[in-house]
Structure 1
Amino acid sequence: MPSLPALRRRPALPATAPLLAATGHTLAVAAPAAPPGSGPGGPPPPPPPRRPRATATSGSGPSGYLALLRLPGATAFTLGGLLARLPAGMFSVSAVLMIAASRDSYALAGAVTATGLAATALVAPWTARLVDRYGQRRVARPAAALAVCGALALVACVRLGAPAWTLFAAYAATATVPNAGAMARARWQALLGEDPARRHTATSFEQAVDEVCFMAGPALAAVLCTALFPEAGTLTGVALLAVGITLFTAQRATEPPPHPRPATGSAAPLRRPGTAPLLAVFLATGIVFGTLEVTTLAFADTAGHAAAGGLIVGLQAAGSCVAGLVYGARAPAGPAAARLPVLLALLTAALTLPALAATTGSAALLAPAVLCAGMATAPVMITAMTLVQHRTPPARLNEGLTLAVTAILTGIALGSALAGQAADRLTPGTGYTVALAAACAAIAFATRLRAPALSGVRG
């Protein structure tokens, strides 16, 4: 069992002491009046009622998720976080379609979005560090405003026929989009405290939300850009980001307190033991995601079912979403560091299915194989994110989670490039072999996490 916070380990105070109520990172001090008729020698006053954090049941199955959403402010910040996360999947697809439509160059569009990804990898950890230091509201709102300005500048540059270099500069400004997923996970951790079962459920829920955004964001962008006008996807993403961040940060009661000066021992996540192999796991898993998507699209196109490629990729995300919710509804068995290599081994086994299906040349066989592979990804991500949350001090939590997401995005970019080369130079299904190799590498990195300092993490 994880140790209780230091505040709860203190010796009991006498009955005459003021009452202390700890909620999240907030300490409330109250001196309630004595009940009528009670004197100095009477019985001590009853303790104050606890907030939902202490009384909500962890539950299992759907009831566990409902119990989380019943906590004050949870539904509101979840809705805001959902809206704020959708643009992350919309901006890149919208930029590609918008630039390609106006400049007739997919090469330019791809280069612009690749530059934006590189900028995100550099800027996102610093934005997250500022969030930890100064608070979500004070940093997320101006960071989102800067990203909105960058997206609007990109639209203006495209419409006005500005030089190509302005597209790179404008899109790079969108790298300041705050990581709503990391901020939401930080809020759950502050709300739930040292409750591994409920934190496991919350992490699983957030992973499912990520998958929903992964499915809906690019699809919504493609529909808007093709059905309305090329700039519609970017403009809609701007509106969703502004509304989502505003709703999310408006929930002040659930916001974790800032840490202007990190406490002693809260070193930067990259300097903490076990962080490097854990980030390597995220990088390798991102390569799996990138190769699966590009290889599936290339295979479907070669097989004469180009329209079905997007649907098959959607099955991967849908399988991951459902598996994440099911996995989160059950109590985890054993330490997270011990579970991660096992789950990665299951993912590796599942990845053999699309590799085998590709040898048949049948898109009908590939679809269920990709669905099974997608179902194996969510437990891996949930367990790995749990390790990040436990290994990162609260003063650096947003930074640690954002580093993990950055590693995933970098892996997706590498995997997409490798799968594209494999599809052009070899066969469309060769990319599934690349995914298998990346999964095996992830297992090797995960085995390095089974150290004494990590093996006790059960969330």
Structure 2
Amino acid sequence: MSPIASYRRLLQLAGPTYVLVAFIGRLPLAMSQLGTLLLVATASGSYGLGGLSAGALAVANAVGAPVAGTLADRVGQRHVVLIQSLLGAAGLAALVAVVHADGADALVVLTAAATGLALPQVGPLARVRWRPLTRTTGAQQRRLVDAAFSYEGAADEASFAIGPALVGLSVAAFSPSGALLLAAVLLAVFGSAFALDPSARLAHSDVHVEASGRLFGAAFVVLVVAQVTIGSLFGATQTGATVLATDLGSPGLAGFVHATLGVGSALAGLATAYVPERVSHERRALVAAWALLVFSLPLLLVTTLLSTTATVLVLGLAVAPYMIAVFSLAERVVPPSRIGAAMTMLASATGLGYAVGSSLAGRLADASGATAAFGVTVGATVVAVLLMTSQQRRLRAASEPASGPVSLPTARTRTLQPLP
């Protein structure tokens, strides 16, 4: 089956409405961090408070996402995501209200953290639904699931380029408050629609299958670390681009420079479906890690925004293939009854890596400028190469049992397993 035929088949199985809802439903999360930063910083006149509030939202979301994923595995995505969508939308609106009411700094930060705790991770949970959606396709299922993960990787990258762009447009047209209120409306409407889609019930019926093994096997820990490295790359690259743009007198262009990382990544994510099935996912991750290293090295030499933008665009071509391979491996190495927790935990690892990368790059940039910040980007890719080079055998052994066509028990044979 060709990649185009695979994507067409996935669209037929899920329906265009679901694909649209699942994509728009992930935009509020992509909008929330930058929207919070701009809202709080503009109202308070303090970028420190704005950054602290945005960071609190991001960290709380990283902590809460695996908990929500575990609950979704236990009771189903429908109830969990619906409650998260409504609470998250209310939280975004409450944050706007608290800021405009000149609430105390501590109250602003706590409100941002509570909001982050509630925001759903639609992208990772959407990945969980593709295996049951394709369960009737027989021998084609493995190829279709791989194509679905390629699409999801591209969709995630596109959302994190479009989300900040929507914030920028909303701020220009209305205000920072308008940006967060737009995110709240999108979450209430499309997050709820994602929760109530029939695929949520289908996914719940298929994750409760008899499964052995624990979530925190050695192979899965490797994949978590892999996502920490890519998150560090994101944070360090954005910090380096911001420092360079500010030094050159164009701080407003920093977001555009970083957005090109998502553009290149989204394009490469869709193209990943063209990789032959015989190329294993652990091998794809290794090749992508080396590409990240090679493509990041020019960042140590850039001195203009044009050269930085071009370099970041090319770097993005290796990002999605790396992440798609990691998420695809996770789908194979964890028990089916824990896949929701696994997907959300990988997303959380990315967020925590972002915090580590941006913090370290910021400290180094204060002392030595943008090049030092980009050095953290390169360092993250070195760790990715070492990790994937040393763990090929472990990842191959862990994923081999599920390397053939996926076979799922019927509803009559499924049993609910307790969490380890």
TM-score (norm 1): 0.81
* Residues 418-441 of structure 1, C-alpha deviations (whole Å, 9 max, x = no match): 222222210212222211111111
- The answer as to 2:158 corresponding to 1:207 is no
Q: Counterpart of 2:166?
A: 220
* Bigger proportion of residues as helix: 2
One-letter amino acid of the structure 1 residue matched with residue 177 of structure 2: E
Instruction: Specify the SS of the correspondent of 1:231.
Output: helix
Offset, 1:222: 2.4
CA distance in 2, matches of 1:220, 1:449: 40
Offset, 1:249: 2.5
- The 5 Å alignment of 1:48-59 reads 58-59=1-2
Cα RMSD of the aligned pairs, angstroms, is: 2.1
Offset, 1:253: 4.6
Instruction: Mark the CA change 1:308 to 1:245 in structure 2 (over 3 Å): closer, same or farther.
Output: closer
One-letter amino acid of the structure 1 residue matched with residue 35 of structure 2: S
- The answer as to 2:329 corresponding to 1:401 is no
- The 5 Å alignment of 1:185-204 reads 185-193=127-135, 195-204=141-150
Question: Please, which moves more after superposition, 125-134 or 115-124?
Answer: 115-124
Instruction: Specify the SS of the correspondent of 1:256.
Output: helix
Q: Counterpart of 1:233?
A: 179
Offset, 1:323: 1.0
Q: Counterpart of 1:12?
A: none
- The 5 Å alignment of 1:9-24 reads none
Q: Counterpart of 1:242?
A: 188
* Residues 238-280 of structure 1, C-alpha deviations (whole Å, 9 max, x = no match): 100111122212321563125897745253x2x2231112111
Offset, 1:74: 3.2
1:423 touches 1:430 (CA, 8 Å); kept in 2? yes
- The answer as to 2:396 corresponding to 1:450 is no
* Residues 163-186 of structure 1, C-alpha deviations (whole Å, 9 max, x = no match): 222212222222222211122111
Q: Counterpart of 1:388?
A: 330
2:353 pairs with one of 391, 411, 420? 411
* Residues 310-342 of structure 1, C-alpha deviations (whole Å, 9 max, x = no match): 332222111111111112233344221233222
2:333 touches 2:399 (CA, 8 Å); kept in 1? no
1:294 touches 1:420 (CA, 8 Å); kept in 2? yes
One-letter amino acid of the structure 1 residue matched with residue 54 of structure 2: T
Q: Counterpart of 1:319?
A: 264
Instruction: Mark the CA change 1:207 to 1:264 in structure 2 (over 3 Å): closer, same or farther.
Output: closer
Q: Counterpart of 2:409?
A: none
Runs of 4+ in structure 1 over 4 Å off = 258-262
1:102 pairs with one of 21, 33, 43? 43
- The 5 Å alignment of 1:54-73 reads 58-60=1-3, 62-71=4-13, 73=14
* Residues 195-249 of structure 1, C-alpha deviations (whole Å, 9 max, x = no match): 2221111101011111111001112112212431231011100100111122212
Instruction: Mark the CA change 1:253 to 1:381 in structure 2 (over 3 Å): closer, same or farther.
Output: closer
- The 5 Å alignment of 1:148-159 reads 148-159=89-100
Which one has a bigger Cα radius of gyration? 1
CA distance in 1, matches of 2:147, 2:262: 19
Q: Counterpart of 2:307?
A: 365
Instruction: Mark the CA change 1:176 to 1:259 in structure 2 (over 3 Å): closer, same or farther.
Output: farther
Instruction: Mark the CA change 1:346 to 1:264 in structure 2 (over 3 Å): closer, same or farther.
Output: closer
Percent identity over paired residues: 27
Q: Counterpart of 1:14?
A: none
Q: Counterpart of 2:284?
A: 339
Q: Counterpart of 1:351?
A: 296
Instruction: Mark the CA change 1:264 to 1:64 in structure 2 (over 3 Å): closer, same or farther.
Output: closer
How many matched pairs?
A: 395
| Higher RCO (CA < 8 A, seq sep 6+) | 2
2:330 touches 2:342 (CA, 8 Å); kept in 1? yes
Gaps (5+ residues) in structure 2?
405-420
- The answer as to 2:55 corresponding to 1:114 is yes
- The answer as to 2:124 corresponding to 1:178 is no
2:70 pairs with one of 129, 132, 135? 129
* Residues 87-141 of structure 1, C-alpha deviations (whole Å, 9 max, x = no match): 1111111111111122111111111222222222221111111111111111111
1:128 touches 1:398 (CA, 8 Å); kept in 2? yes
Q: Counterpart of 2:212?
A: 265
Offset, 1:450: 2.1
